[in-house]
Amino acid sequence: MTAEITPDIAAKVANLSRLKLTDEELAKFTDQLSAILEHAADIEALDLEGVLPTSHPYPLKNVFRQDVVSQGATSDGNDTEKNSGEKIAAFKSSVLGVAPESEDGQFKVPPILS
Amino acid sequence: MPEKDLPHNHSKHESSKDDDFEVVIGLEVHAELATKTKLFSDSANHFGDEPNTNIDPVCLGLPGSLPVLNKRAVELSIRVGIALGSTISPCTFARKNYFYPDMPKNFQTSQYDQPLNVGGSLTLASGKKIGITRAHLEEDTGKITHIGGGGRIHDAKYCLIDYNRAGVPLLEIVSEPEISSGEEAREYVKELRAILVAVEASDGKMEEGSLRVDTNISVRKKGEVELGVRTEIKNVNSLRSLLRAVEFETKRHISAIQAGEELRQETRHFNEDTGETHPLRSKEDDMDYRYFPEPDLVPLDPDEKWVEEIREQMPALPTEKRVRLKEASGADDSVIALLVSRGVDDLVDATIQAGADAAQTIKLAEQNLSDGAGKLEADAFLKVVNMLQAGELSATQVKAVLTEVIENGVDPKQVAESMGFEAMDEGELEGLVEQVISQNPDEWERYKGGDQKLVGFFVGQMMKLTQGKADGKVVTAMLSKKAAN
């Protein structure tokens, strides 16, 4: 599959990512995306018979965590319930504090369909 | 503006009747898994908490945070896979990219071309088998509240977002397009819910959003092999809504085909108030998710030994539970299915095994355990049944006692005492019955003359006099005994 990246495709991808690009930027990214696809085409040209698809470069699988609540953001491993409550509140106010707008302990955003 | 959506039953082209069409339905059921923590991070998975208190850097997509898979979520998913006869398969996670504020990362971590559970089937009460395509693990999204414009998505002024739900583990169970009516769709979801509850994978509460159903519908002329144009309906939040949504959408498709109008493949939103569906997104905005493998998570490859361990520890499945409870109680199939779907059948079974009257236990469970059994255990339930049988509690009192025990797990006898529900002494009761009779001589004569309707009157008087403490059955027996003398 060596679909050519046209300015239209680049514009569509930009739109899906809610990026507003100037004509110059669009031209630049069209070229860059094309170069990436060309590289993929180079790999595709190799004989990969018998090579399994790889989703991850490391020979690792089945990495788990146990199902234990610890509010990982703030835990120091020896929380009392009260401490934990205070830490949650502190984390909440710090993240809401950096949001452009908030209201009633929630993130405030523009309407979705307008 | 939404286009005209009402199904027009009287179209200009009556060349084909409604009966000439058949509906083809496939369901995507999203079940929130009953874990303690989220799928990829360790903040709590708990419904109903104050907004944005169960959040952490991972579910907020903060820079530098990394997901780690919750083992319990995988285990519960494998249980569901085993229950549905799926092949538990090596799998990977993928990013589903979309730009929407319910996911601050701008992608949802899901599974795409390599899901955990592949294939399987679910058997309906009718015996019909519905194929299962797959069941994959993914994370839930945050909750958006639309403010202004009556709370409707189309007219909202702005939105508020609570990320407590973002990252909660979901199992998306996808059926084959083999369901052929709204009623069958309902049966499918009911049975799937019973399975999820039985294997303790989910609490199955549709009203809390623990179970959500996306409905794929198409209509074709009977005898045709090719599927018609498919629409997907979202926001179906109850079994009743599922039935209504399917009925509306089927009619809409048939009318469009009869009128020669073109149906669009699109996602539609079900409106609970009107019972109608409306287009949710325009075709131009159609999602292009650009899936790619999640680089931050390594492959999941459950080894056979682990799957076998899970298989050996599997709780009984609904079919087996229904047979067991039927044998123990002899109750009606519909009542048994209800108790199994509520997940209270084990308790009922254990209570009956401990010596409780089967019919009475079933009746109490049916009437009082609609939200599950809470902290009620078999020995306590046995006491309640026995107290009712012995006339120590009236029917109304039993309700109050059970509510308290379900909530707090306290001893029913103590609850009854603290509520002042002590059994009335027979002698005391008899005295009061005589008092009521002497105060109402006319009614008493009519009752003695054979007017049985007056039983209710006398029992009512007794309840008033004793503030509900009298046992209606005992009073009735006393009345008939006195009338006979």
The CATH number of whichever domain residue A19 belongs to comes to: 1.10.20
Find the CATH number of the domain harbouring B435.
Answer: 1.10.10.410
- Paired residues of B118 in beta bridges: B87, B134
Is pLDDT at B78 greater than 60 in this prediction?
yes
B339 touches B345 (CB < 8 A): yes
In a domain, A30, yes or no: yes
In a domain, B133, yes or no: yes
Determine the residue type at B361.
T
Arithmetic mean of pLDDT, A13-26:
90
CA distance B398 to B226: 57
- Range name among A61-65, A80-84, A107-111, B153-157 with the lowest pLDDT average: A80-84
> Token match 């799928």: residue?
B39
| Structural domain boundaries enclosing A40 | 7-44
* Beta-carbon separation of A64 and B74 below 8 A: yes
Distance separating the N- and C-terminal Cα atoms of chain B = 78
* Strand spans (E) along B260-336: 266-271, 276-279, 292-293
In a domain, A68, yes or no: no
In a domain, B335, yes or no: yes
CA distance B91 to B300: 5
Determine the residue type at B187.
E
Query: Residue A52 has what pLDDT?
Result: 81
CA distance B43 to B58: 9
In a domain, B454, yes or no: yes
* Beta-carbon separation of B56 and A71 below 8 A: yes
CA distance B67 to B267: 30
Pull the structure tokens for residue B64.
């530098």
Contacts of A107 in chain B (CB under 8 A): 52, 101, 160-161, 163
Name which of A60, A72, A113 is nearest B41 (Cβ-Cβ): A72
Selection from B156, B417, B409, B194 nearest residue B315 by Cα: B194
Query: Residue B137 has what pLDDT?
Result: 98
Residues B265 and B406 in one domain: no
Pull the structure tokens for residue B278.
């409306």
pLDDT digits (tens, 9 = 90+) for B294-339: 999 999 999 999 999 999 999 999 999 999 999 988 899 999 989 9
Residues B328 and B466 in one domain: no
Query: Residue B280 has what pLDDT?
Result: 78
Residues B395 and B443 in one domain: no
Cα Rg of chain B, angstroms = 28
Of B235, B259, B293, the residue at which a domain comes to its end is B293
In a domain, A86, yes or no: yes
Q: How confident is the model at residue A83 (pLDDT cuts 50, 70, 90)?
A: low
* Beta-carbon separation of B99 and A111 below 8 A: no
Residues B212 and B140 in one domain: yes
CA distance B259 to B134: 36
Strands B231-236 and B266-271: parallel
Count of residues making up chain B: 485
Q: Which residue of A has its CA nearest to B58?
A: A73
In a domain, A100, yes or no: yes
Smallest CA–CA distance, residue B97 to chain A, in Å, is: 9
Smallest CA–CA distance, residue B78 to chain A, in Å, is: 14
Selection from B85, B120, B102 nearest residue B162 by Cα: B102
- Paired residues of B169 in beta bridges: B139
Residues B430 and B394 in one domain: no
Of B277, B293, B309, the residue at which a domain comes to its end is B293
pLDDT digits (tens, 9 = 90+) for B458-468: 988 888 888 77
B266 touches B280 (CB < 8 A): yes
In a domain, A40, yes or no: yes
Residues B322 and B411 in one domain: yes
Residues B154 and B56 in one domain: yes
In a domain, B312, yes or no: no
Smallest CA–CA distance, residue A49 to chain B, in Å, is: 20
CA distance B236 to B234: 6
| Structural domain boundaries enclosing B272 | 18-293
Q: How confident is the model at residue A71 (pLDDT cuts 50, 70, 90)?
A: low
The Cα-based distances of B467 to B153, B372, B397, B431, B444 in angstroms read: 50, 29, 11, 16, 22
- Range name among B277-291, B307-321, B390-404 with the lowest pLDDT average: B277-291
Task: Please state the domain count of chain B.
Answer: 3
Q: How confident is the model at residue B8 (pLDDT cuts 50, 70, 90)?
A: very low
Arithmetic mean of pLDDT, B339-355:
90
Residues B59 and B207 in one domain: yes
In a domain, B282, yes or no: yes
Contacts of B156 in chain A (CB under 8 A): 111-113
Contacts of B301 in chain A (CB under 8 A): 61-62
> At B48, is the secondary structure helix, strand, or coil?
coil
* Beta-carbon separation of B43 and A103 below 8 A: no
- H helices of B46-103, in order, are 71-83
Residues B328 and B456 in one domain: no
B144 touches B136 (CB < 8 A): no
Is pLDDT at B133 greater than 90 in this prediction?
yes
Distance separating the N- and C-terminal Cα atoms of chain A = 37
The Cα-based distances of B75 to B313, B351, B392 in angstroms read: 11, 30, 46
CA distance B408 to B264: 53
Query: Residue B151 has what pLDDT?
Result: 67
Residues B199 and B342 in one domain: no
Contacts of B406 (CB under 8 A, 6+ apart): B368, B369, B371, B373, B374, B375, B376
* Beta-carbon separation of A72 and B42 below 8 A: yes
In a domain, A28, yes or no: yes
Name which of B52, B70, B101 is nearest A105 (Cβ-Cβ): B52
Q: What is the 3-state secondary structure (H, E, C) of chain A?
A: CCCCCCHHHHHHHHHHCCCCCCHHHHHHHHHHHHHHHHHHHHHHCCCCCCCCCCCCCCCCCCCEECCCCCCCCCCCCCCCHHHHHHHHHHHHHHHHHHCCCEECCEEEECCCCC
State residue B169 phi and psi, 5-degree precision.
Answer: -65, 135
Residues B121 and B184 in one domain: yes
> Token match 């209710």: residue?
B456
CA distance B151 to B145: 7
Q: How confident is the model at residue A2 (pLDDT cuts 50, 70, 90)?
A: low
State residue B190 phi and psi, 5-degree precision.
Answer: -60, -45
Residues B179 and B243 in one domain: yes
Q: Is B305 on the interface with A (CB under 8 A)?
A: no
In a domain, B229, yes or no: yes
